[in-house]
Structure 1
Amino acid sequence: MGCGTSKVLPEPSKNLQLDLVKKVEPCLDSKSDQYNTFITDTSQTFVKDDYLCHSLQNGDSKCHVESTHLRRHKIAKYRAKFDPRVTAKYDIKALIGRGSFSRVVRVEHKASKQPYAIKMIETKYREGREVCESELNVLRRVRHTNIIQLIEVFESQERVYMVMELATGGELFDRIIAKGSFTERDATHVLQMVLEGVRYLHALGITHRDLKPENLLYYHPGIDSKIMITDFGLASAQKKGDDCLMKTTCGTPEYIAPEVLLRKPYTNSVDMWALGVISYILLSGTMPFEDDNRTRLYRQILKGKYSYSGEVRKLCKLLIVYLACSIELG
């Protein structure tokens, strides 16, 4: 779940050089998993034609009818793909997200009329199976107010249907864009909720490995909405007694911890690094590490080289340490 920009970096050659650590560009092939989920604005989901979009904005009733017809056609198309067990229990309402291996639809429980989201994942492809297994391995184990909740799962030979909570408040990323930056009080409130969820995950031996504003969702559009952690496609779930060190080189470039870039064994502390980056973004409205050239970006991260006023830098450090300690102490 999320924006689908997470990356698994390529394995290094025997002669490891920093400039060999590169971004894996999104693959446009149909066998790439770049799914998005819980996209709350569905008004343009089915309107791909530029003329139609322009006409709708200008109140063209004919185009509105065409758009409505197109939406119904799309809904019918995806409803037909669903397992009869699913459609017997849920009404398919709208397509709200799509990726190479998955589609996410808004549904309504027929008996309770409660809205949910269903992620339909194509598991006939290896990559789809791997992401699905990773997410299910985590979501079947967790139950926390600040983590997206799995309701139930339907499995068929080629697809898995994950019924989940429907988050309608959008991504934390969108609110940062809208606000520019958060006040210290608002940033603390957001991070407190995220850290509560992270503490719970770490206690279960789960490391998210892809924390970023795009993977933090607001439950509803209100200012008092809770934050929920989502997208566990890169998560590592270990049982008690397992080696706590991880080796897979993965994540979203701007949020990757130095030890991951150096391809050293690492612990769940990589999630705390990502939260430090998120803290900086919340308070400043800018990225601490940013460069179109991935080699230069990774050098910035390894050196801890970022530029902003000393006050914000100091505040970010104090804020993350304070919150981490408060979470640890309960």
Structure 2
Amino acid sequence: MGCGVGKVLPAESKSGFVSVVRSLAAFTRVCDEKEESKHKQTTCWFGGKAKQEKEQPPSQPPSQSHRRPDTRPRAQTKTYRDKFDPRVTARYHIQALIGRGSFSRVVRAEHRGTHQPYAIKMMEVEFPEGREVCAAELTVLKRVSHPHIVHMAEVFQLPHRVYMVLELATGGQLLDRVVSKGHFTERDATKAIKMVLDAVSYLHGLGITHRDLKPENLLYYHPGANSKLLLTNFGLATFSGKNGGNGFGSGGDGASMDTSWSLRTTCGTPEYMAPEAVQRKGSSPAVDLWALGVVVFIMLSGSMPFEDESRTKLYRAVVKGKYSFSGDVSSSE
């Protein structure tokens, strides 16, 4: 996720129902040649789909009692764990890959001493775009402390990779719950948006604009009905001039942030972008409020207000504010 790169547009749906789009990009095969040569006989974790072991012809038709034990998950975990710096694996047991983005991979891990579960986000910072995304996220997470913003426990900063140890949210995305219910009641939507507004108000008070608010970046802390929501993914965040960062990689604690609110490129996920961001006229914290309006629309109707396979038509609808609401909203439990 970065400037000028939005999410993949959902598949066309006659009902206009929300398509589940994960905040992290689709898995792709990126096993490097060095690791492939070291682990020719193991399964590659990075591919999303595991490489299948060569099938040996059975001496008799396979049955439950004659099948060989499936050792692939263990091999996958080992292969992926080997990608992590020893300083990280010395403190954390890497358990499973749970997500992936353009410049990041996220795993579930357990602290070896306390057995506390965490999510570790490994970010590649070798190239400028990945470095900027990482710097923005670090700048925010090092400065904030709020019950509805994901907490960063610690960070390992290395020349080409950064490992962020984050609070683990196991309740799924807000979008998942909207899809499972069809739409929220007014009561449920009000409860959810209050938590998000509380987090956004806190950020704006610090001069921080998220710029990529969407249901995929709002995670429930646990699967229960009364779970709190956590705001995540600050790779596109900006600061106002008075609270700007000191520069990533130069001894500071964060990114060199945009201090004039002027956007040189279109940033964010197209369906949630405010008109001023689409037109590149500059933006302010108000772009987050526009995105929250889109989120509320989705919660109450179960559909997107602005959705088109043509990016041009989508942007035109956003600028004109052209949408229709046809949800059957109920305030009952």
- Check whether the contact 1:206–1:237 (CA below 8 A) recurs between aligned residues: yes
- Check whether the contact 2:301–2:327 (CA below 8 A) recurs between aligned residues: no
- Counterparts of 2:79 and 2:328, CA distance in 1: 54
Give the letter for the 1:8 counterpart: C
The TM-score with structure 1 as length reference comes to 0.75
Pair 36,214 (structure 1): closer, same or farther in 2 beyond 3 Å: same
1:303 to 306, 320, 327: 320
- Check whether the contact 2:2–2:133 (CA below 8 A) recurs between aligned residues: no
- Counterparts of 1:175 and 1:206, CA distance in 2: 28
1:65 to 69, 90, 94: 69
Displacement of 1:77 in angstroms is 1.6
- Check whether the contact 1:46–1:70 (CA below 8 A) recurs between aligned residues: no
Pair 35,283 (structure 1): closer, same or farther in 2 beyond 3 Å: closer
Matched, 1:245 2:247: no
- Check whether the contact 1:8–1:24 (CA below 8 A) recurs between aligned residues: no
Displacement of 1:9 in angstroms is 3.0
Aligned residues: 276
Find the counterpart in structure 1 of residue 250 from structure 2. Answer: none
Matched, 1:9 2:4: yes
Matched, 1:186 2:202: no
Pair 171,241 (structure 1): closer, same or farther in 2 beyond 3 Å: closer
Identity across matched positions, percent: 55
Partner SS, residue 266 of structure 1 = coil
Pair 259,223 (structure 1): closer, same or farther in 2 beyond 3 Å: same
Structure 1, residues 153-172: CA drift from partner, whole Å, max 9, x if none? 01222211110011101100
1:203 to 190, 195, 205: 205
- Counterparts of 2:65 and 2:242, CA distance in 1: 61
Give the letter for the 2:299 counterpart: L
- Check whether the contact 1:193–1:227 (CA below 8 A) recurs between aligned residues: yes
Query: Unaligned 5+ residue runs, structure 2?
Result: 10-21, 28-44, 54-62, 245-258
Find the counterpart in structure 2 of residue 130 from structure 1. Answer: 132
- Check whether the contact 2:118–2:165 (CA below 8 A) recurs between aligned residues: yes
Pair 168,205 (structure 1): closer, same or farther in 2 beyond 3 Å: same
- Counterparts of 2:208 and 2:47, CA distance in 1: 37
- What pairs with 1:68-87 in structure 2 (closer than 5 Å)? 69-87=71-89
Displacement of 1:49 in angstroms is 5.6
Give the letter for the 2:151 counterpart: Q
Aligned Cα root-mean-square deviation (Å)? 3.1
Pair 264,74 (structure 1): closer, same or farther in 2 beyond 3 Å: same
Pair 274,51 (structure 1): closer, same or farther in 2 beyond 3 Å: same
Pair 276,73 (structure 1): closer, same or farther in 2 beyond 3 Å: same
Pair 297,51 (structure 1): closer, same or farther in 2 beyond 3 Å: same
Displacement of 1:63 in angstroms is 7.2
Structure 1, residues 16-70: CA drift from partner, whole Å, max 9, x if none? xxxxxxx7879xxxxxxx9839x9xxxx998826999xxxxxx96877932xx22
Partner SS, residue 201 of structure 1 = helix
2:111 to 106, 109, 112: 109
Partner SS, residue 140 of structure 1 = helix
Pair 125,45 (structure 1): closer, same or farther in 2 beyond 3 Å: closer
Give the letter for the 1:133 counterpart: A
